[in-house]
Amino acid sequence: MGVLEFQKLPVNTLVGADWKTFKGITQGQTIGKGYKTKYQLTKAICWLLSSLKPIQDRRYNKRLKDQAINMEPVFILGHWRSGTTFVHNVLAHDKHFGYTTTYQTVFPHMMMWGQPMFKKTMAWLMPDKRPTDNMELNVDLPQEEEFALSNMMPCSYYDFWFLPQNMLEYCDRFLTMKTATPEEHRMFRETFLKLIKISLWNTQGSQFLSKNPPHTGKVKEILEMFPNAKFIYLMRNPYTVFESTRSFFTNTIIPLQLQKISPEELEKNILEVYTRLYRKYEEDKKLIPAGNLIEIKFEDFEADALAMTEKIYRTLAIPGFEAAKADIAAYLDKKKGYKKNAYKYETRTVELVEKHWDYALKQWDYKLE
């Protein structure tokens, strides 16, 4: 367990943002009455650390900027709480994959210098398990890159963690990008490309492995960058997803938010964002070339993870399964005793899911057990 409890952090993750990004996210926004101290402390640390950003910029420009990405990335998609973390951790045991680390998500500007010092501090402070679901936490473990992107540009969907009252606005601008400006599109492409190159350099991988629920709404934009990208889409029982997402979002917002949102408003937003994200993915997936998409029920993956992993490699023509099989199997053996959070569906949960997400229940043939 880290020195500090996750929900009692005196700052939020914007300490690792560059100054331009911090200002772009917070300027003109309402900071809640009870969050001004956290905001000012985060702002002060961010300003101090931002003075060090040019060191990485120079090294990146010299070593990585002009390097080509030789293998098209693999993207793990799906709504939050659909099993994307587990699948990411399984595939990341294939050493040819590179990925964004947990450390990188908080300090993306301190990757090509200063890692030993900042990583040691972060490891000392952070808990060893994710409070929301007991998944292992470690500075070097794979992590979803949206947290890093939110510290590198002022147009990430994860800005809603800090400003939850803007959740639906950010859904259309930064999640599905339906109302994003040309400048925001450009910024996403440039920042994401930089993130991938640094991630591959850091983990010494040859193919980038992405796990990022927000990318589920950006398939079209990703294909514009990587026309031959591979996609793994995970679907999970919507009743479970609703209960788990509500719990995850409620607990994750607490240490990050700079303004209040009521439980009722958050719940309403979760129901709406699921629909907008689902529709955008269904619309965009038709653009994916044949053979580059596999759709899986997470329940099927859980039932036989090794066999399903082999199926993913075979379907998407990803190289290296036989070489990685022993490491993947060893990881899965270690996880056999892992206890997931148990969810007992409340009557209200059933009513909300069946009212708002009935299309997903029908399309994927999920029934209340």
Query: 295 pairs with which residues across the strands?
Result: 233
| Residue 368 within a domain | no
* Region for residue 273 given its phi and psi (left: phi exceeds 0; alpha: psi -120 to 50; beta: otherwise): alpha
Radius of gyration of the CA atoms of the chain, in A: 20
Give the count of beta carbons closer than 10 Å to the beta carbon of residue 340.
13
Residue whose tokens read 């029982």: 237
Residue-number span of the structural domain to which 126 is assigned: 6-363
369 occurs within a structural domain = no
pLDDT at 346: 87
Contact present, 63 and 76 (Cβ < 8 Å): no
What CA–CA distances, in Å, run from 233 to 92, 212, 280, 303? 16, 11, 13, 17
Q: Is residue 283 part of a domain?
A: yes
Work out the widest C-alpha separation in the chain, in whole angstroms. 58
The verdict on residue 324 lying in a domain is yes
Q: What is the CATH number of the domain that holds 109?
A: 3.40.50.300
| Domains held by the chain: number | 1
What mean pLDDT is predicted for residues 6-28? 91
Tell whether 357 is covered by a domain. Answer: yes
Comparing 123 with 59, the larger pLDDT belongs to 59
In 137-292, DSSP assigns E strands to 207-211, 230-235
**Residue 287: inside a domain, yes or no?**
yes
Residue 1 domain flag: no
Helix 238-256 to helix 263-284 angle (10° resolution) is 120
With respect to residue 72, please indicate whether it lies within any of the assigned structural domains.
yes
pTM: 0.94
pLDDT tens-digit profile of 179-192? 999 999 999 999 99
Q: Please say whether the dihedral angle defined by the alpha carbons of residues 343, 348, 351 and 353, taken in this order, is positive or negative.
A: negative
* Mean per-residue pLDDT of the chain: 93
**In which band, very low, low, confident or very high, does the pLDDT at 1 lie, cut at 50, 70 and 90?**
very low
